[in-house]
Every structure is written in C-alpha cells, then in structure tokens.
Structure 1
Amino acid sequence: MSTIPKYEKFHEGSQQGIKINGWAITTNKSSISNSREIEKVQKEIKISLPEMFFGNNLLRISNDYGVILEFSPLDALKMVDATAEGGEKVKVAYSEEWKKKSAKNHEHIKDVVKPYDWTYTTSYSGTLRGTVDGQVFEESTDRIDMEKLKKVEEIVFYDEIDLFEDELADNGTAILNVKIRVMPSGFYILQRFFLRVDEVLFRMNDTRTYHEFGTDYLQLEYTSREEHYNKIRACIPKYKEDDISQLTDINWINTKLPPPKKDGLMIKKLRVVPKSEI
C-alpha cells in the first residue's frame, strides 16, 4: 500500500476537487445547457448539439509548473465530422447492415441521416491548455501499466462527469463521459465515447491518461474499437439470447469488442516538469 501524501479537498458550488503532490484536479458538474447557452455554443460549431449537452461540465488537471489539461464537451464536439460525407460514414461502412435496418423501418431511418456525422463520433483526447518549457504530447511506446492500476489502493478522490448524450432519433445511443480517480500513487482518467447504432454497430473510443506521482511525465493512450452489432449480440449466452439488455451494458460490451486496429491506437507522453527539475 502506498503512503498517502498530504492532500486538500475542496468543494464550492458546482466545482469540487483535490490538491495533491503539486497537482490540482477540478471537476465542474452542472445541469444540461439551457437555451441561451446552447445558442451561444451553436455559433462555434457547425452541427446540431446532442439532445443532452452538458456545456458547463469539465475536468481539469493542472500542476505547479503550468501544465493544464482539460476534458471539455465543446472541444469534443468540434472534432465531430461536420461534412455531408460524415453523415454517410456509417451507412457506407456498414452498407449491408444499414440496408437491413432501413428495410425494417425506412421512413424512420431516413430521418436520422443528417449532413454531418450524426453518430457524434469524436476522437477527442483532451485539450492541452498549458505546458512546461513549451512541451507537447509526443509519440511513445510506453503503455500504461494497467496491472498496476488493478492493485487495491485507497481512492482519495473520485468523480464522473457527463459531457453529452444523444439517442440518435431512437436508433441507438451516443455517450461521452469522463471519470477520474486519485490514489496515493497517482491519478488515472478514463474518457469514453460509446456508440450503439441498433442492428448496425458498436463503437468505443477510449482516452486513458495516467500520472504516477514522482515521475516527470504524463501518459496518454487513445484506442478506437468497433464491431458489427450482430457479432456482439451473438456473444449473449444461448440461455439468455432473448434477453438483449446486455446490449445496453457498456461495461459488458467493452469486454466483447476486438482489440483496436493499428490506426486505432495512439500512445503519447507529456513531460510535466522543467528539465532543470529532472
């Protein structure tokens, strides 16, 4: 077990967080954006907002040397394909599945295809707003040690923040949220974009960010995985095959998706202390 370093928790209004080992971790959790806030956001992006947009929600981590990394719903939406081609991506990539789905409910399906990526798929992996010595994330081969993170350790701070959600005109769901946990040894962030298009596909884009206290770097891993809907459905045990509730269980689906393809994996590192401190 790690010795628990000194820390200070804070909570004011919609913000809460913790200061520990030279880091300040802050979450802001509020209600769904109101009409005035939505109108302001729509001036910045070219696509319609998801049904549930939590524009004021935010996760920010910063350290004493000036590093600032944020996870923002607006920045995530700015990375959604806003072109007409984006609206056809799922239809083209899964043409056979789409034809079958469309045949079942043609009138409803044509309503969901919009002149942008209506699945709200985003490869967003955070916004770097402050650095030390002008450093940026650089490619790396060092993976996050997930086995180390499985070890039992006290959690001194935890939070989960919703960023946006949409039911895709009753054709599935698209969800983006972010979780953080702080342990005596460091902190771990998981931002997850989850997509289910009924009868067509499942997709999961995960951004994992980890810092071990005492090291001079922050690790980031982005993975993108997807699979045909029916292949995941086939994973339901035979004795439960009529029970499709598991297809709404994101944790269960996570265990059934295949590993990411080569272009669906990104590993990076960011130096978070000045060279003079190394």
Structure 2
Amino acid sequence: MSHRAPIRTHAADAEVDVLKERLGSLAWPEQFFGANHLTLVHPEAGTRLTFEAEDALRAWLSGSEAPVHVKTAGKWMQAHAQDVDTHKAKVLQYDWTFTTGYRGSGAGPAGPQSAHGSSGELAWEATDAQMDRGMLTARDPILMYADIPLFESELEDNGVASLSVKVTSERGLAVRVMPRCWYALLRFWLRVDGVLVRLRTTRVFCAFKDAPDVVLRETTYQEGTFAALAAAGAPREGPSYADADAAGAALAAVAPVGVTLYERQALQLKEGGAADTNMR
C-alpha cells in the first residue's frame, strides 16, 4: 500500500493559467489542489479509479446546473433594472458555485476514461447490494486514513464550495493481518449564505473477504433552500450548516426531503483477481 502525493497549499498561478486555458474557463476556485489525488488500483484486473481536481472541474464545466443567485441578487437587479434596460446589458448565466457531478475518473484494460456521470470502460451496473455499514462502524484498527482536499472556494464571500476525498482501510481480528475493506468518500459541499445548501456524496467500498472482486458505489445528491429545509423540520441556517459533516447531519434528519438522486452501483473486477488492492 503506497501513500498519496504530498498535499500542496495550492497550484501556482502559472499552472492555474495553463489549466484555465486548457479547460476553457475564466472562473476558478481560490484554492485548487492540483497535485492531490487518490488512485485505487487492482493490478490483476487492470482497473484504476482516480479522484482528482482537474477532472472534477471538467465535470463542473460540462454540467447543466441552474444558476444560483445570492441573497442580494434580487434587490440589486431591482435597483439597477433601468440601467440594465437602457444599456441592453446582458446578464451572464453560469454556475459560479463549482457544483460538480464528478464521481471519479476510471481506467480499465481498454484505456483511460473520465467517469463523471457515465460508466464507460469501468462498466458500473445498477445493484441492490449495499455496503456493510456494520463493518464501517466497527471499532477495528485503522491502518490508513487520509483527507485529501481537491478544491475550495469562498464564492466571493457569499458562502463556501469544497470538494474532498477521504479514504480509510480497516483490519479486523477475524482475518488477522489482512484488511477487511477499503472505503473512499468523495464529497462536494456547497453553502450559499441565506439561500441554500447542497451536498453530493459518492461512497466507494470493497470488502476483501466477502466480495474481493466487487466494488460498490453509492451516490447521493441532497439540497434545499434554507427556508424549505426549515419548513421540513431541519435546523435553520447557522451552525448546523457550518461544514460538510454538520450539513450532512441536518439534511439526513429530514430525508427523503431534499434527496434529488440516490443510486447504487457495482463494478465487477476480474474473476480471481488479487484482493490486496493498492492505494496510491
């Protein structure tokens, strides 16, 4: 099991300029951790799953999210309506929140494939199988833990948007020195002050003993305006939405209200493949 690349504070300005030109975007999150990534490799199957910032922003740029307006946008437009009309000003509509549907970049034996929103070479299929929550919550020794930021923005002081990936590997006494599972959590979190909160979570799981050649993926999208969530019984805007963990708890309290997508998928690896999946 090898470790991930060292975390850098942020990409240098020159690197960002190159990336912006390559992706064709003028907008960019203030903190972009371009060197950070998590790569999961199954050598025998020739399968690789990577989580990285650049592909996540590609997914943002190719998305079709409806623009989110800040709390003061309506008042501003009302106050400047005459000027806008007089000068025939064009109001630009684009997703400035960096909302991404990215679920990882995959590569199989046939070659690389960006897996944000499609399955392609990795052949994810719908499944009824569920992750072993008992295994994930068991008090087993943790062999590895990493919290890897990919990008973050304060949205010009209008809130916060962030994307990060976490990975843990656990060992149970029943299988002695062999790890029981690995689990990765990719989470996009958005809070637009006074307007809404949005959480997009992708969980990836593999139980080495029970199903070493099957990787499960669970995707959940949750969001709501603070007014709608409060009406459903969630806490009002404030400390309950201060970070992704707190927002997740608040949204879970009123689910299925606010759930816009829930999907379970499985990836079948090569039969008889090695169970000691590498993490890089």
Same fold, TM-score > 0.5, yes or no: yes
Give distance in 1, aligned partners of 2:241 and 2:61: 26
CA contact (8 A) 1:62 1:69 kept: yes
Residue 121 of structure 1 aligns with which residue? 99
Q: CA deviation at 1:82?
A: 5.3
Matched, 1:160 2:147: yes
Q: Is residue 27–residue 159 contact of structure 1 (8 Å, CA) maintained in 2?
A: no
Structure with more relative contact order (C-alpha pairs < 8 Å, separation 6 or more) = 2
Deviation at 1:119, TM superposition (A): 0.8
| 1:254 counterpart SS class | helix
Asked if residue 176 in structure 1 is aligned to residue 163 in structure 2, the reply is yes
Distance 1:143 1:268, change over 3 A: same
1:244 CA displacement: 2.7
Aligned partner letter, 2:142? I
2:219 is equivalent to residue 222 of structure 1: yes
Distance change in 2, residues 1:28/1:69 (3 Å): farther
Q: Percent identity?
A: 29
TM-score of the superposed pair, with normalisation by structure 2: 0.74
Residue deviations 1:109-128 (CA, integer Å, cap 9, x gap): x9xx8543111111110011
Alignment check: 8 A CA contact 1:210 1:219 kept: yes
Output one character per residue of 1:36-95: Cα deviation in whole Å (capped at 9) or x when no partner: 211221122133211111111100110221211000101011111458x74x5324xxxx
Change (3 A) 1:114 1:153: farther
Q: Select 2:49's aligned residue among 45, 53, 69.
A: 69
Please tell me the residue identity of whatever aligns with 1:161.
Answer: I
* 2:244 corresponds to 1:250: yes
For residues 47-66 of structure 1, the aligned pairs below 5 Å read: 47=25, 48-65=27-44, 66=46
SS in 2 for 1:221: strand
* 1:103 positional shift: 4.6
Aligned counterparts of 2:37 and 2:123: Cα–Cα separation in 1: 21
Determine if contact 1:174/1:193 at 8 Å carries over to the other structure. Answer: yes
Normalised to the residue count of structure 1, the TM-score between the two structures is 0.75
CA distance in 2 between counterparts of 1:251 and 1:137 reads 27
- Amino acid corresponding to residue 215 of structure 2 in structure 1: L
Please, which of 12, 18, 26 is the counterpart of residue 40 of structure 1? Answer: 18
Counterparts of 1:6-45 in structure 2 under 5 Å?
Answer: 10=2, 17=3, 26-45=4-23
Contact 2:162 2:190 in 1 (8 A): yes
* Shift in Å, 1:145: 2.4
Aligned-pair distance for 1:274? Answer: 3.4
Residue 168 of structure 2 aligns with an amino acid whose one-letter code is R
Q: Structure 2 unaligned runs (5+)?
A: 85-90, 112-120, 172-179, 276-280
Question: CA 1:105–1:64 in structure 2 vs 1: closer, same or farther (change >3 Å)?
Answer: same
2:67 corresponds to: 89
Cα distance in 1, alignment partners of residues 73 and 273 from structure 2: 61
**Unmatched segments (≥5 aa) in structure 1:** 1-7, 11-16, 18-25, 92-97
Letter in 2 for 1:80: W
Partners of 2:167 and 2:185 within 8 A in 1: yes
SS in 2 for 1:162: strand
1:265 is paired with a residue of what secondary structure? Answer: strand
Once residues 236 and 42 of structure 1 are traced to their aligned partners in structure 2, the CA distance between those partners, rounded to angstroms, is 38
Q: How does 1:204-243 map to 2 (within 5 A)?
A: 204-214=199-209, 215=211, 216-232=213-229
Q: Is the 8 A contact 2:221 2:259 kept in 1?
A: no
Q: 2:14 & 2:57 partners in 1: Cα distance?
A: 18
**SS at the partner of 1:119?**
coil
